[in-house]
């Protein structure tokens, strides 16, 4: 066999020296929070390339910056992190697409951030300020070089995976990192979809599949349907604060309690217990028993015992799974397969739970750490391989609902989550006050009912609305989400055709953690949200009723006797008092009372208006 | 080459379907997939800027139409909209909801009052009875929508259209009542 240098290896059986092979081999990259991997398709099969020392396919996503030297990336950076904690950036994925001003940025870590910079986060490391995009680019550059070394070939095109929940800003940041590393990003591919592709579901198989992805700190669930080469994402869900790290804590805690450690236990002992817990957890994926030693405690630990300790944590993945199934309109029995992704799915208790939850044996024959990168390689081959295949099409969804602020701080959803993209929606709004000449358009993303609980994506003002009585001017607001998930909002006044549009480019997008947190909150607060929305609506209606009663009294108050007038006025006062409170029922009751109290006035006003109209006509007719 | 949709193409026509309430969902799904193959932007990634724009527009229209047609009540509301009936309007006027007879509004008021009373007395069983009542009436309204719309193609008279619109409007009220019950369940 010829030395493969300069000879692109086609996916078929012939090796062809292609003069156009300037871009070399397309690769798939899993740019992970903890580890990153690079994979390539060879002879129709994907495989991971060595990415770190010792030919490990896992490159720890850790970058250490050193003044005047090349950054150190991978295991050596992680191992020497304790010597330079501020100069070593780990878990940079959490910072992608986030702004420096984001309160959460500061809480996330002990890094030093550059002061006074607007926009993206800048870490102070190795004597310079670096953005999350640059740190990610350093990881990607390392993967690119290692892949080129392994393939003896240039690597310039890549499919990079992102969590299904990544929003526009986070996706854009990931794409920028790819470009910065000298890669043409063929596609940003959702991680669960990549895992499904890796399982070769594209090879003529059909059905509905769940991808259960449990990592060190996050949990993701996606439901996909495959028919005739179309991968259709039906629903996504997850929990950003749930993962294998929680198992370690639960095991450590049980061990500490057993040896009677004081609470809180000394930090050194806690650290020892955590290290031992992790070791035991990993050993028990293969062995039935393992001996552990923490402080004065030394004993044998069985699989079942650990399973009991971590059961409450494992069971927490059930909620998002059930919701995703519900969103997809499926029961577990209707699924054709369940795919396991993420290192934590190696834990036997997790597998047992998944099996029980989905009523079937999960598929786990591909290494759960590698499966995402392998799927990305398959997609790279589809898009840019020597003999690009065109028998697969991915249909993705919007991860979170998009909406607008309406009266009373309530969010009106225009496009529900899990809608297939590209998509659009139009909603017509009307003016609230007479002669209102402008309207604020506030674009929001999230599942909660109230503006305060959703992520604000953009705000703009449509001005120049012609002065008309309340309710007559109509403004159509259109959302357009393109195939990349980018949103554009257009507002148009319907009588004049006055139009304004804005491409929504959030300077600080939602992280997948925030997205998931919002989703989880929406479940926890669904009831509370409806209550608050009903209250907000009742208040709006109350104020509308009270104002029109005021106006009627001012204009035609003479139609009422002092007693009648007093009744209306006290009903208005009672309504305003109720509306200042937070009892929806009381506000509705007071609104009803005022309605009753003004019936007579309304009738007399009507009569007067008719008389005036008739009188006017008489003047014209006889004049 | 991919062509833009003729202006005014309705959501049924996008799928090559007649304006009918009754739809074979498996067939709709198959049409959705076939059309996705044809129009999806990924399938035109190497095309000209115009082709890519047309692909985006066609796919957007396809996805939006699919979302409308696969849901029976959304489909019903859309069909009525094509017949000039709006269920709900931004100004609160000229809609099927605004045209509901006073007797129905009284019914809703009674239900709400019943709910407030049952709550005030802490009578959970009475709340549950109201929930069941509303569920039954909603089911009847759904049947009324379906019955009216099923015969619409053969008998496209205003009476049927109005009946379907009124039933859909009633469903919105029942859903709101339900929301109120749900929302205050643990209050």
In this prediction, residue A457 carries a pLDDT of 75
Instruction: Tell me which residue in B56, B67, B180 faces A422 most closely, judged by beta carbons.
Output: B56
H or E element, residue B144? helix B124-150
Q: Where in chain B is the domain with CATH 1.20.1280?
A: 102-183
Decide if pLDDT at A510 tops 50.
no
User: From the CA of A423, how many Å to the nearest CA of chain B?
Assistant: 4
User: What is the fold of B102-183?
Assistant: Monooxygenase (1.20.1280)
Model ipTM?
0.84
Give the whole-number percent of chain A exceeding pLDDT 90. Answer: 30
Long-range contacts of A83-87 (CB under 8 A, 24+ apart): A85/A110, A86/A110, A86/A111, A86/A112, A86/A124, A86/A125, A87/A125, A87/A126
Whether CATH 1.20.1270.10 fits A528-621:
yes
**A110 CB neighbour count, 10 Å cutoff:** 7
| Digit-coded pLDDT (tens) for A411-468 | 888 999 889 989 999 988 888 888 888 888 888 887 788 888 787 777 777 777 888 8
| Digit-coded pLDDT (tens) for A535-579 | 877 887 888 888 888 888 888 888 888 888 999 999 999 999 998
Instruction: Tell me which residue in A232, A393, A534 faces B180 most closely, judged by beta carbons.
Output: A534
Of A193-207, A382-396, A492-506, the one with minimum mean pLDDT is A492-506
Residues of B in contact with A424 (CB under 8 A): 60, 64
Whether CATH 1.10.287.110 fits B11-70:
yes
| Domain A201-229+318-365 class in CATH | alpha beta
Residue of B nearest to A414 (CA): B64
Q: Number of Cβ pairs closer than 8 Å across A and B?
A: 74
The pTM is what?
A: 0.68
Buried b (16+ CB within 10 A) or exposed e, A265-281: beeebbebbbebbbebb
Q: Where in chain A is the domain with CATH 3.30.420.40?
A: 1-199+366-387, 201-229+318-365
| Average pLDDT of the segment spanning B81-107 | 83
Hey, what are A310's tokens?
A: 């971590």
User: What is the fold of A1-199+366-387?
Assistant: Nucleotidyltransferase; domain 5 (3.30.420)
> Are the CB atoms for A213 and A192 separated by under 8 Å?
yes
User: From the CA of B143, how many Å to the nearest CA of chain A?
Assistant: 22
Instruction: Tell me which residue in B40, B63, B183 faces A530 most closely, judged by beta carbons.
Output: B183
In this prediction, residue B13 carries a pLDDT of 97
Whether CATH 2.100.10.30 fits A402-508:
no
| Average pLDDT of the segment spanning A512-533 | 56
In this prediction, residue A514 carries a pLDDT of 43
- Among residues A93, A157, A208, A281, the one annotated as catalytic is A93
Residues of B in contact with A480 (CB under 8 A): 60
Chain B interface mutation, best of A585, A588, A592, A596, highest count of B Cβ atoms under 10 Å:
A585
In this prediction, residue A531 carries a pLDDT of 75
Q: Where in chain B is the domain with CATH 1.10.287.110?
A: 11-70
> Are the CB atoms for A30 and A56 separated by under 8 Å?
no
Q: Is A191 annotated in the active site?
A: yes
> Are the CB atoms for A499 and A477 separated by under 8 Å?
no
Decide if pLDDT at A1 tops 50.
no
Provide the mean pLDDT of chain A.
Answer: 81
Instruction: Tell me which residue in B37, B42, B187 faces A483 most closely, judged by beta carbons.
Output: B42
Residues of B contacting chain A (CB within 8 angstroms): 33, 36-37, 40-43, 56, 59-60, 63-64, 66-67, 90-93, 112, 116, 119, 179-180, 182-187
Do B182 and A474 make contact, defined as CB atoms within 8 angstroms?
no
Closest CA to A142 of A70, A92, A41: A70
Residues of A in contact with B187 (CB under 8 A): 531
Residues of B in contact with A427 (CB under 8 A): 90
- Among residues A213, A248, A272, A516, the one annotated as catalytic is A213
Q: Is A550 annotated in the active site?
A: no
**A499 CB neighbour count, 10 Å cutoff:** 12
Instruction: Round to whole Å and give the CA distance between A485 and A487.
Output: 6
Decide if pLDDT at A107 tops 70.
no
In this prediction, residue A619 carries a pLDDT of 42
In this prediction, residue A506 carries a pLDDT of 44
H or E element, residue A461? strand A455-463
Give the whole-number percent of chain B exceeding pLDDT 70. Answer: 94
Under 8 Å CB-to-CB from A227, ≥6 apart: which residues? A206, B33
In this prediction, residue B23 carries a pLDDT of 95
Instruction: Round to whole Å and give the CA distance between A326 and A235.
Output: 9
A244-315 CATH: 3.90.640.10
| Digit-coded pLDDT (tens) for A350-364 | 999 999 999 999 988
In this prediction, residue B26 carries a pLDDT of 95
Q: Which residue has the higher pLDDT, A296 or A357?
A: A357
| Digit-coded pLDDT (tens) for A584-612 | 888 888 888 888 888 888 888 878 877 77
């Amino acid at each position: 066999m010829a030395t493969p240098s300069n000879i692109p290896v086609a996916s078929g059986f012939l090796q062809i020296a292609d003069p156009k092979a300037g871009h070399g081999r397309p690769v798939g990259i899993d740019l992970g929070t903890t580890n990153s991997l690079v994979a390539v398709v060879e002879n129709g099969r994907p495989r991971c390339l060595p990415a770190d020392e010792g030919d490990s396919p896992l490159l720890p996503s850790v970058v250490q910056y050193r003044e005047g030297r090349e950054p150190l990336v991978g295991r050596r950076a992680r191992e020497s992190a304790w010597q330079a904690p501020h100069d070593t950036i780990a878990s940079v994925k959490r910072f992608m697409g986030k702004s420096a001003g984001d309160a959460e940025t500061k809480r996330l870590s002990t890094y030093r951030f550059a002061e006074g910079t607007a926009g993206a986060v800048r870490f102070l490391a190795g004597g310079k300020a670096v953005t999350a995009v640059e740190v990610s680019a350093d990881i990607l550059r390392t993967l690119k070089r290692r892949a080129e070394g392994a393939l003896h070939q240039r690597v310039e095109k890549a499919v990079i995976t992102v969590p299904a929940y990544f929003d526009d800003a986070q996706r854009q940041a990931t794409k920028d990192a790819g470009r910065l590393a000298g890669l043409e990003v063929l596609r940003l591919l959702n991680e669960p979809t990549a895992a499904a592709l890796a399982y070769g579901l594209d090879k003529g198989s059909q059905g509905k599949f769940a991808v259960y992805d449990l990592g060190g700190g996050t949990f993701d669930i996606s439901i996909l349907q495959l028919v005739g080469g179309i991968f259709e994402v039906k629903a996504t869900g997850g929990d950003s604060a749930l993962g294998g790290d929680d198992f370690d804590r639960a095991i450590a805690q049980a061990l500490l309690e057993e040896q009677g450690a004081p609470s809180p236990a000394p930090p050194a002992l806690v650290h020892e217990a955590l290290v031992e817990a992790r070791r035991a957890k990993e050993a028990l994926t293969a062995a039935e028993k393992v001996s552990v030693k923490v402080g004065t405690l030394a004993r044998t630990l069985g699989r079942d015992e650990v399973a009991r300790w971590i059961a409450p944590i494992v069971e927490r993945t059930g909620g998002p799974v059930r919701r995703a199934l519900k969103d997809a309109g499926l029961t577990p029995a209707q699924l054709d397969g369940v795919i396991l992704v993420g290192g934590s799915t190696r834990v036997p208790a997790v597998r047992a739970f998944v099996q029980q939850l989905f009523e079937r044996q999960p598929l786990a024959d591909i290494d759960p750490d590698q499966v995402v990168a392998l799927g990305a390689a398959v997609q790279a081959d589809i898009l840019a391989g020597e003999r690009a295949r065109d028998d697969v099409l991915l249909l993705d969804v919007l991860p979170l609902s998009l909406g607008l602020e309406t009266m009373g701080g309530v969010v009106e959803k225009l496009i529900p989550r899990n809608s297939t993209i590209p998509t659009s929606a139009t909603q017509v709004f009307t003016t609230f006050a007479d002669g209102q000449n402008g309207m604020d358009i506030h674009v929001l993303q999230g599942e909660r009912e109230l503006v305060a609980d959703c992520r604000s994506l953009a705000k703009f003002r449509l001005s120049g609305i012609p002065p008309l009585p309340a309710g007559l001017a109509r403004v159509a607001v259109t959302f357009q989400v393109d195939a990349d998930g980018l949103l554009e909002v257009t507002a148009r006044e319907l009588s004049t055709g006055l139009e304004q549009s804005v491409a929504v480019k959030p300077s600080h997008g939602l992280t997948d953690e925030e997205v998931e947190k919002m989703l989880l909150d929406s479940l926890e607060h669904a009831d509370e949200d409806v209550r608050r929305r009903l209250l907000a609506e009742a208040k709006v209606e109350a104020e509308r009723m009270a104002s029109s009663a005021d106006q009627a009294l001012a204009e035609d108050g003479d139609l009422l006797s002092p007693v009648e007038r007093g009744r209306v006025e006290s009903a208005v006062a009672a309504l305003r008092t109720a509306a200042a409170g937070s009892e929806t029922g009381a506000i509705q009751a007071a609104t009803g009372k005022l309605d009753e109290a003004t019936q007579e006035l309304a009738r007399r006003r009507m009569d007067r208006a008719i008389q005036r109209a008739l009188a006017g006509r008489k003047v014209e007719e006889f004049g | 080459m991919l062509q833009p949709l003729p202006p005014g193409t309705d959501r049924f026509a996008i799928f090559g379907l007649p304006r009918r309430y009754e739809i074979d969902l498996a067939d709709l799904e198959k049409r959705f997939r076939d059309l996705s193959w044809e129009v999806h932007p990924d399938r035109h990634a190497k095309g000209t800027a115009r082709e890519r724009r047309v692909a985006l527009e066609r796919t957007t229209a396809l996805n939006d139409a699919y979302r409308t047609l696969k849901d029976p009540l959304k489909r019903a509301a859309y069909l009525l909209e094509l017949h000039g009936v709006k269920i709900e309007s931004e100004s609160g006027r000229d809609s099927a909801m605004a045209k509901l007879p006073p007797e129905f509004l009284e019914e809703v008021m009674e239900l709400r009052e019943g709910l407030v009373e049952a709550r005030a007395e802490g009578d959970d069983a009475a709340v549950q009875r109201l929930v069941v009542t509303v569920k039954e009436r909603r089911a009847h309204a759904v049947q009324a929508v379906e019955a009216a719309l099923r015969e619409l193609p053969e008998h496209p008279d205003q009476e049927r259209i109005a009946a379907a619109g009124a039933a859909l409007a009633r469903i919105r009220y029942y859903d709101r009542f339900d929301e109120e019950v749900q929302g205050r369940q643990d209050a």
